Structure 1
Amino acid sequence: MIDEFRKLFPDLTPRFFRAPGRVNLIGEHTDYNMGFVMPIALDMNCYVAVAGSNDRKTHIHSLDRGEGFDFDPDVAFAKPRKNWTDYVIGVAQQLSMRGVRILPMSMVFHSEVPEGSGLSSSAALEVSAALAFLNGRTYSGVEMAKLCQRAEIDFVGNPCGIMDQYISVFGEANRALELDCRSLSHKPVELPANAALLAVNSMVKHDLATSAYGDRVKECKAAVAGIARLHPEVKALRDAKLEYLENARLDPTVEKRARHIITEDDRVEQFFAAARRGDLDQMGKLFVASHRSMQHDYEISCEEIDFLVDTALTIDGVYGSRMTGGGFGGCTINLVRPDRVDAFTKEIVDRYQARYNKQAPVFNCVPSSGAREVKDLSTIPATNKTSS
């Protein structure tokens, strides 16, 4: 990054910021239903080197893609370009709308978070961009998460919840956060030390802006409208109870979507309690129940992900496995005995290769701290953190 920055902007001295990706342990698609989620921030980050500009333009460059784009800092009427730059320009636009002056900047981005993996490379890019545009100016963490979410909804066109941006800002080392997506408050819980969290990347790419993600949002709104006819206190599926579905006369597909959200919120609460008491068996069972609900009720899994989950559950030392992220590809998250990590990694990779002729990278997911300035450049690693 330093070499690239010096090559592109030889007269400037940059500051460095980072924002992590995330893996969600449980609570899938509950965030935009005002419910509960339990993510961790990862020790995989999107980094940005930033300094002023020698002209009146903002220059953004991706080290990973080997390409850049220049734009006018007056972003009020900017239009989406339908590529990675939209996440950066959308953040600038949201900051500007909130009264933050967007100064001409020079930026180089580099991300360790694999795209399309369900580990939220987009939120890591958004939050790192926000830090770069602020360039040391103070800003509320909650407001930063909200504006980054808004950029993805309004500018990128993906109707996402706030979980990804929130955990990228507020992540804590060695802890998961139970986030209340209505109050935007959280409770940390230390995870049991005698288990490892391993993400397995199916290498099936998904683009949530053009996938069935938006359909699920609409189906959940339809469920709320149907339930609220009998229970007007229900403003989001977070407020609904399972028994409310009996007389709501919902479309069968809409009813399945609602059942997943209602039961998933309950699983988050159960998982939090199990983590506090170190009950790995129960945590694993909740992983599996969550996946089956996504597979059959929310219908956001796919053949490759189901294969990874089903295969993991046959491997010794695995407490549980589930898909994580928006769906239709991406990663599974697996709760594994530490002494079985190497054996698990080899077996899951070999069996996936044999079935689909694809390599499935395995990531050791270590709960890490949220977005911040990087002052010690020796902490920026040279390579991605993959087990295989």
Structure 2
Amino acid sequence: MTASRQASALRSEVRDIALGTADPVEFRHAVLDTIRRRIHYDIGCIALVDPASMLFTSVTMLGADAPPGRAAKTVAHIEYGTSRFANTYRKLARTRTGVQTIREAIDCDIRDSLPYSEILEPQGMDDEVRLVFRGRDGRVWGGGTLMRAPGRHFDADDVAALAGCVGEIGDGLRLSLLRESPRLAADASPGGSGPAVVVVGADNEIESATPQAVESLERLGAEGAFMLPAVVVAVRFRYEGAAARVVRVRTEDGQWLVLRAGSLDGRGESARIVVAIEPAQPGQLVALTAALHGLTERETDVLARVLAGETRTEIARGLFVSPYTVQDHLKSIYARTGVNSRQELVARLFFTHCLPRVGTEIGPDGWFVEKPAPTSVPVGAHRKR
């Protein structure tokens, strides 16, 4: 089968998997199984990443001897460390295809490289292809690696077939997180203090809503139309074509809520839209780091772009300042956070805020689900309907 036909078949199967699996872990396992049936590999891995920072938040492995946690730590030390073999997935995200063999990525004999000596060789592997999963929204939702034992390397047809389906996998990863929203809401404690979910049908009418969603929306104070914000967010998402629509709203008692919309199934006007509601929290790595270290607003902007993998020139262009100004901001950020380089900064943030939490719940935005904070609403203060 040609590479283009392989890619077409993989795309079709990934779409079916995305609609038919119940949660992100099941989706990742199913995708790895599907790829393995068409493009042989011995060890496979798919990791979710936070699209805002490109730091991985969850990992699924197939065929490896080492437990996922230990393997993730080894990969993290190389990818987010300070050696010349760091940053390979960030660099890969900047390529056109998002797929590359290790021999293409590393400018030396791979047997002299850390990825080979620390990852491939201990597992009895000799070749590797790396993948970045970017959805149609332009955001990277995951990364992956496939390894082979000695005897057969990944060839150009393998790379082309994989490159033809990475976009579908990126969309599937995002959708799997959105489909997880109802379960996260069901697990939340009653009383409106946790995530909540509203499902809006094709006719833009409310199909269903959890009690937490009803209570949260009632607190917005819209008499007689308290469900309207969820419908508005869903309609904007449906007709403006964004991959995710995020809106912040303030309740009467002063709490900020985040409403996130995404397709539950189908596309376009026929799609059912899920709106997840949760307390606004400093969960995003950039906001958390800025608050902890007292970064200025402009330093926070620079930090966000650093974590997104932009170069100094790209940051300068995006913020309409000179590269020298960007460098001054970077020096200030390094001083405040106690590091000496961009790589040290990324490593510090990953090992402090991400690695200890790998394996915990991941929300629809790709970030870890925070435990809901108690609200200040008195018992019995909600409107009854």
Greater relative CO (CA pairs within 8 A, separation 6+): 1
Say which structure is richer in helix: 2
Which structure has the larger Rg over C-alpha atoms?
2
Q: TM-score, normalised by structure 2?
A: 0.30
